[in-house]
A and B are shown apart, each in its own frame.
Chain A
Amino acid sequence: MAEETFDLAACLERVRQRDQAAARELVDHLYPLVIRIVRSHLPRRVAEEDLAQEIFLKMFTRLDQYKGAVAFTHWVSRIAVTTCIDQLRAQKRRPEFRWADLSEKEAEVLDSVLTSETEVAANDALAARELVYKLLGQLKPEDRLVLQLLDLEQHSVAEISAMTGWNPSLVKVRAFRARGKLKKLFEELQRKERS
């Protein structure tokens, strides 16, 4: 459904009156936003559709709490992000990161990043993305989220603040600490590579 033809306020009003057709329209309208967040922060062994369903059900349950203080899409993003973080937290232990777990291409990309100053080849982009996800997967859910939004998806601090509900200073501090942890992980990988 095109953004310009969708009357969100009217749709929300109809949903509040328990109009199922309006609820379906709202889900269809918000699905691309929610599924992008889910795909970016999907925990292992969780089906993206199950997580999207949980997010939408939470959204409908809490709809009465939405007072319009922030844009509705930001409000839904927060629900999506916190649901993903909760799921990631529930996983608790992250498996130790080993070179042996990387595919041949991923290992090549990592080796190239660690040992040379040249840009990663364009045809290694998919491997680079998988590698980034694996590296971020070693961090705590909040740290992973902030680096993913800031560095990979290139959102501004203000946008991340709106999406997560964290204040801008907290976003910056979390990003700084997360990069510190990632740096240690890189150093550890370099040591393992040499040995």
Chain B
Amino acid sequence: MKDFDARWQRLVAAARQAPAAEDVAAPYGFATRIAARALGEPERPALLAVFGRLSIRALWVAGLLMLVSMAANYLAFAGNDDDDQSLIDPVSEVLASS
């Protein structure tokens, strides 16, 4: 490994001597283009965020509807306890009359 390290270090030392291509200024219009793309459009909530928010609202509404319908049905059943006796059984009526 030592032999390799020495070779590698010799190679990178030589590579470091190469002049760097040092034109590091932004090309003309680059900053304007980036700024326009990054800040030009008005901030809009992401589609997924909107979907998420609407889904949570829909969940609340669905839960509320479920509770209301359960309560309504429960009341309907509970209120009909006495009516069972007043129900006429047509089969027994026919049998009784024959």
- Using CB atoms and an 8 Å cutoff, list the residues of chain A in contact with chain B: 15, 18-21, 23-25, 27-28, 31-32, 35-36, 39, 49, 52-53, 56-57, 60-61, 109, 113-114, 117, 119-122, 124-126, 128-129, 131-132, 151-152, 154, 179-180, 182-183, 186
Known A-B contacts: A24-B34, A126-B18. Give 15 more (CB < 8 A). Answer: A27-B30, A27-B31, A32-B24, A53-B34, A57-B38, A60-B38, A61-B38, A113-B7, A124-B14, A129-B18, A151-B8, A151-B9, A152-B12, A182-B4, A182-B8
Task: State whether B14 touches A27 (Cβ < 8 A).
Answer: no
User: Is B79 an interface residue, CB under 8 A from the partner?
Assistant: no
Taking CB atoms and an 8 Å cut-off, the chain B residues in 11-45 that contact chain A are 11-19, 21, 24-27, 30-40, 43
Task: State whether B34 touches A113 (Cβ < 8 A).
Answer: no
Query: With contacts defined as CB atoms under 8 Å apart, how many contacts are there between chain A and chain B in the complex?
Result: 112
Task: State whether B27 touches A128 (Cβ < 8 A).
Answer: no
Q: Is the interface of B mostly helix, strand, loop or mixed?
A: helix
Report the count of interface residues on B (CB-CB < 8 A). 34
Report the separation of the CA atoms of residues A20 and B35 in the bound assembly, to the nearest whole angstrom: 6
Question: 4 smallest A-B Cβ distances: which pairs?
Answer: A120-B14, A60-B38, A23-B35, A128-B14
Task: Please name all residues of chain B whose beta carbon is closer than 8 Å to the beta carbon of A132 when the two chains form the complex.
Answer: 11-12, 15
Report the separation of the CA atoms of residues A128 and B19 in the bound assembly, to the nearest whole angstrom: 12
Task: State whether B17 touches A57 (Cβ < 8 A).
Answer: no
Report the separation of the CA atoms of residues A12 and B38 in the bound assembly, to the nearest whole angstrom: 14
Task: Please name all residues of chain B whose beta carbon is closer than 8 Å to the beta carbon of A31 when the two chains form the complex.
Answer: 24-26, 30-31
- Using CB atoms and an 8 Å cutoff, list the residues of chain B in contact with chain A: 1, 4-19, 21, 24-27, 30-40, 43
Task: Please name all residues of chain B whose beta carbon is closer than 8 Å to the beta carbon of A28 when the two chains form the complex.
Answer: 25-26, 31
Task: Please name all residues of chain A whose beta carbon is closer than 8 Å to the beta carbon of B31 when the two chains form the complex.
Answer: 23-25, 27-28, 31
Task: State whether A36 touches B27 (Cβ < 8 A).
Answer: no
Contact of A27 among B6, B9, B10, B34 (CB under 8 A): B34
Task: Please name all residues of chain B whose beta carbon is closer than 8 Å to the beta carbon of A183 when the two chains form the complex.
Answer: 1, 4
Task: State whether A24 touches B35 (Cβ < 8 A).
Answer: yes
Task: State whether B26 touches A27 (Cβ < 8 A).
Answer: yes
Given A57-B34, A186-B7, residue A122 in contact with residue B17 (CB < 8 A): yes
* Distance in Å: Cβ of B23 to nearest Cβ of chain A: 9
Task: State whether A109 touches B14 (Cβ < 8 A).
Answer: yes
Report the separation of the CA atoms of residues A134 and B38 in the bound assembly, to the nearest whole angstrom: 35
24 contacts between A and B (CB under 8 A): A20-B35, A21-B35, A23-B31, A23-B34, A24-B35, A27-B30, A27-B35, A28-B26, A31-B26, A35-B26, A36-B24, A52-B30, A53-B33, A57-B38, A109-B11, A119-B14, A129-B15, A151-B8, A151-B9, A151-B12, A154-B16, A179-B4, A179-B5, A186-B8
